[in-house]
Amino acid sequence: MKIAISGLGRMGGQIARKLHYGGHEVIAHNRSPEKVDEAKEYGAVPAYTEKEVVKAFGEEKVVLWLMLPADVIDDKLDEWLKILPPSSIVIDGGNSDYRGDKARWERASARDVSLVDIGTSGGVWGLENGFAMMVGGEKPSYDSITPVLDTLAKPSGAHQHFGEAGTGHFVKMVHNAIEYGMMQSLAEGYRVLREGPYPEIDLAAAGDVWQKSSVVTSWLNDLTRQALHENPDMNDISGVVAESGEARWTLETAKELGIPMPAIQAAFDVRLASQNGKTDYSTKLLAAMRAKFGGHDINGNQ
């Protein structure tokens, strides 16, 4: 299947590479040409401008995957809508706010373009392990891009259509909020082990045992124990932990619905406090986790 990927950052670059290796014809586009040059090296079709992307499809239907930050998606989508031919499919695969998806879908529909929102999880490990993709938008468009999603899910990922525009990003948003709470619990638990009455306890060894069929066995715990083996004292980590926005949006939505979220609120508040200098061993461990699964800056940058 022919598909263009615009936005070749940490995850977008892996998506493009995985699709190319999976036998799809990938057109690679990025704001900075260096990323396009990298994609060209492994065999993707380079496109240095938006018009080159459209031209590369010839008479075929344009399928465009946008992997862009939430704060630029509206402007960039509108730019693309000016040049995309009718019947194109645009995939918003970034962490966009679901509350803006309906308006984006309406603007696309007015141009006879189908907009699909895909919440994409898998971090920097998606190339190897597969991505988990939560999809919203028109079902026929989802069905038409299924070959792409099947490839991206291999070997152990998955994809599912959840309904109308916005549902994919909504499910992914809640997923990320849950992630905050899980990470916080692990970080706090390891801190108690470290600062408790038995200073000789090996935290990494505890994580090794927990990862063997215990109730807290998880990918997050696996990454945490790896970080502890590599850097048990969390040296050279500031403990400042960024927040991407999705837990904030989840909390706002929950408040509107009258749903208490004490665990996720507490985890979110810890991240905000870390940005104001309130750091400790647990926030350092949070930063190490984020670096492990998402390739995020170890000292609090996005």
| Largest distance between two CA atoms of the chain | 70
- Answer yes or no: is pLDDT of 103 > 80: yes
Tell whether 54 is covered by a domain: yes
150 and 221 fall within a common domain: no
Number of domains composing the chain: 2
The pLDDT assigned to 298 comes to 80
Per-residue pLDDT tens over the stretch 265-290: 999 999 999 999 999 999 999 999 99
> pLDDT tier at 259 (50, 70, 90 boundaries)?
very high
Per-residue pLDDT tens over the stretch 182-241: 999 999 999 999 999 998 999 999 999 999 999 999 999 999 999 999 999 999 999 999
Active-site positions read 172, 179
Q: What CATH number is attached to the domain comprising 237?
A: 1.10.1040.10
Q: Of 255, 252, 204, 262, nearest to 228 (Cα)?
A: 204
Tell whether 202 is covered by a domain: yes
Q: How far apart (Å, rounded) are the C-alpha atoms in residues 104 and 111? A: 11
Tell whether 234 is covered by a domain: yes
The pLDDT assigned to 123 comes to 85
Last residue of a domain, one of 136, 164, 192: 164
- Answer yes or no: is pLDDT of 301 > 80: no
Q: Containing domain of residue 75, as a range?
A: 2-164
Query: What residues does 136 pair with on adjacent strands?
Result: 117, 163
Per-residue pLDDT tens over the stretch 54-98: 999 999 999 999 999 999 999 999 999 999 999 999 999 999 999
With a pLDDT cut of 70, the percent of the chain lying above it is 99
Tell whether 286 is covered by a domain: yes
Which residues fall within 8 angstroms of residue 138, CB to CB, at 6 or more apart?
114, 116, 165
Last residue of a domain, one of 164, 197, 219: 164
137 and 12 fall within a common domain: yes
- Answer yes or no: is pLDDT of 125 > 60: yes
Q: Token pair for residue 232? A: 């048990």
Which pairing describes strands 25-29 and 2-6: parallel, antiparallel, or unpaired? parallel
- Answer yes or no: is pLDDT of 262 > 90: yes
Q: pTM, whole model, 2 decimals?
A: 0.95
Q: 105 by DSSP, 3-state: which? A: helix
Last residue of a domain, one of 110, 132, 164: 164
The mean pLDDT of the chain is 96
Per-position b or e across 105-138, b if 16+ CB within 10 A of its CB: beebeebebbbbbbbbbbbbbbbeebbbbbbbbb
The pLDDT assigned to 166 comes to 98
